[in-house]
Structure 1
Amino acid sequence: MTTAPMPDTVSATADRHGHRFLLIGKKTIFSYHLGLYYVPIHAFQMITRFGLPDGLRDTYLADLAAHEDQQVYYSLFTEGHWPLQDIVDGKRTSLPVELERVTVDAQGNRTFTPILDAVDVTCRKEDVVHYRPLDPEAGYPDFVTALSFGQGDEVHLTHRLAGAPNWDEVITTVNPQGFQPGDLTPAATVTTTVKDPHGAAPKSPLTTGTRYEGKIGDRTVAFTAGRQGWWNNTSLNKK
């Protein structure tokens, strides 16, 4: 199966087709699949960890440090439209990937620029933190809900995708409180006190630097919204 490149992106890999995984974190680096509601092979929300070679890890961390205060993201591009279930089932144990710097212009167009030649990363089914299909017909929650993942004091939140249209986002928290190791693997659902906008929000409902509370089950957690590691309210929803 092949599909056209996402129309709001420019990329040196635009004439090829494959999966992209956003890199999230510093101490422990996670990979977040770039999901698309209406492209069946990409209609999944997935969080996992890849085994990264030192050269890729060092290049990513150095480039991130140089762009820490900018709207810059990082992705791994791997060619081919194979099913993500292959990772979940343990059928696929390695991937050739290219490290990309993702920049965003004033109109919101994203440019994916390779900054490291292709290398192999390893993947293990036991490192999958979250995996679920997207359902554009699902209802919206009353409040913004997120999936928590990370390790130790490095806690990330990604918007739990419900119905379409919607927005896709990953943030790293600052001073997270109340999170337990079992909330991060597998990813737990965090329900905040912020009203869900029920659509493709024009900007994040979680403001950087603002303190929020939420619930995991009956337990209260708290966090300050920190650096945004991914944002998409456009190609996510394109039919």
Structure 2
Amino acid sequence: MSIHPLPDTVSATADRHGHRFLLIGRRNVFSYHLGLYHVPIHAFQMITRFGLPDGLRETYLTDLAAHEDQQVYYSLFTEGHWPLQDIVDGSRTSLPVELERVTVDAQGNRTFTPLLPVTDATCRKEDVVHYRPLEADAGYPDYVTALSFGQGDEVHLAHRLAGAPNWDEVITTVDPRGFQPGDLAPAATVTVPTVKDPHGAAPKSPLTTGTGYEGKIGDRTVTFTAGRQGWWNHTSLNTA
């Protein structure tokens, strides 16, 4: 991501340029690309898995456990304006990454704090779960839609980004029922027919933590309770 000072962002890496991937999950750690509608190199929604060094994984999990009930996220920052397609087509098999804790204050300002020095992560094209360009002029769905990913009973939902402006969110579900392995890789679209899509940059999640929902994958029903939020952005996502 191009890291420029934004009203909602404070960063120790403000003068650097690169991609950010949010870390999602515990038993199986996935990486979710921080997309931007109006910056072409970052105008992609992508979910993948990286091969993470043991020390980085352990630091992430330990810090996550210490901040479980706070609005704290975790990202990998990797420097450089290289195309994400390099991962998808297999021409890039590793990248230097820096683990960051992302904290949010009462006004919504985000601070990216490095937790570990740069180390190498591996990447494989077969580990890409979802990859598609963002289209700012795409229409909105009638109801909230999400991309399901994860493994086993650890199921995550990323808001499926349609038109702009919009909101970007990843949650981990509690007690997911009805999800099949083929729903998680590649990521299937889950529609929540009881929750209207806000058709814009929602100021807060339409899915309430602790609330149970029924979703549809095609004609099949799945159920879940909305759990911990692993990412949220309704501001810089939409900044031109």
TM-score, reference length from structure 1: 0.98
Q: What is the Cα deviation at residue 106 of structure 1?
A: 0.9
Shift of 1:100: 0.1
Matched, 1:196 2:160: no
Structure 2: gaps of 5 or more residues? none
* Distance in 2 between residues matched to 1:182 and 1:53, nearest whole Å: 28
Aligned mates of 1:175, 1:81 — CA distance in 2: 39
Equivalent in the alignment of 1:92: 92
Q: Secondary structure at the match of 2:35?
A: coil
Deviation at 1:166, TM superposition (A): 0.2
Q: Does structure 1 retain, via aligned residues, the 8 Å contact 2:3–2:13?
A: no
Is residue 159–residue 170 contact of structure 1 (8 Å, CA) maintained in 2?
Answer: yes
Residue type at the aligned position of 1:235? S
What is the CA deviation profile of residues 27-77 of structure 1, one whole-angstrom value per residue up to 9, with x for unaligned ones?
000000000000000000000000000000000000000000000000000
Give the drift of 1:124.
0.1
Q: Does 1:229 align with 2:230?
A: yes
What is the correspondence of 1:13-92 to structure 2 with a 5 Å cutoff? 13-92=13-92
Q: Which amino acid in 2 is paired with 1:169?
A: E
Q: Please state how far the C-alpha of 1:3 moved relative to its aligned partner.
A: 4.7
3-state secondary structure, aligned to 2:87: helix
Q: Percent identity?
A: 86
In the alignment, residue 230 of structure 2 is paired with which amino acid? G
1:58-99 deviations in whole A, cap 9, x for unaligned?
Answer: 000000000000000000000001000000000000010000
Distance 1:27 1:169 in 2: 20
After superposing on structure 2, the runs of 4+ consecutive aligned residues of structure 1 that deviate more than 2 Å are none
In the other structure, the counterpart of 1:121 is: 121
| Residue 170 of structure 1: aligned partner | 170
Instruction: Assess if the C-alpha contact under 8 Å between 1:21 and 1:32 holds in 2.
Output: yes
1:5 is the counterpart of 2:4 = yes
Question: Cα 1:228–1:4, aligned 2, differ >3 Å: closer, same or farther?
Answer: closer
Query: How many Å separate the matches in 2 of 1:116 and 1:3?
Result: 21
CA offsets, 1:126-181, max 9 Å, x none?
Answer: 00000000000000000000000000000000000000000000000000000000
Report the residue type matching 1:143 in the other structure.
Y
Give the conservation status (yes or no) of the 8 Å contact 2:3–2:18.
no
Over aligned residue pairs, what C-alpha RMSD do you find?
0.9
Could you tell me how far apart the structure 2 residues matched to 1:198 and 1:11 are? 30
Tell me the alpha carbon deviations over residues 159-217 of structure 1, each in whole angstroms, 9 at most, x when there is no partner.
00000000000000000000000000000000002100100001000000000001001
Q: Distance in 2 between matches of 1:94 and 1:4?
A: 22
In structure 1, the residue matched to 2:184 is: 184
Q: Secondary structure at the match of 2:116?
A: strand
Per-residue deviation at 1:5?
1.2
Q: Cα 1:227–1:51, aligned 2, differ >3 Å: closer, same or farther?
A: same
For residue 13 of structure 1, report the CA deviation from its aligned partner: 1.0
Letter of the structure 2 residue corresponding to residue 101 of structure 1: R
Aligned residues: 238
Structure 1 stretches lacking a partner, 5+ long: none
The TM-score, its normalising length taken from structure 2, stands at: 0.98
Query: Which amino acid counterpart does residue 5 of structure 1 have in structure 2?
Result: H
* Residue in 1 that maps onto 2:221: 220
How much has 1:9 moved relative to structure 2?
Answer: 1.1
Aligned AA (2:25): G
SS in 1 for 2:98: strand
Letter in 1 for 2:113: T
Change (3 A) 1:91 1:39: same
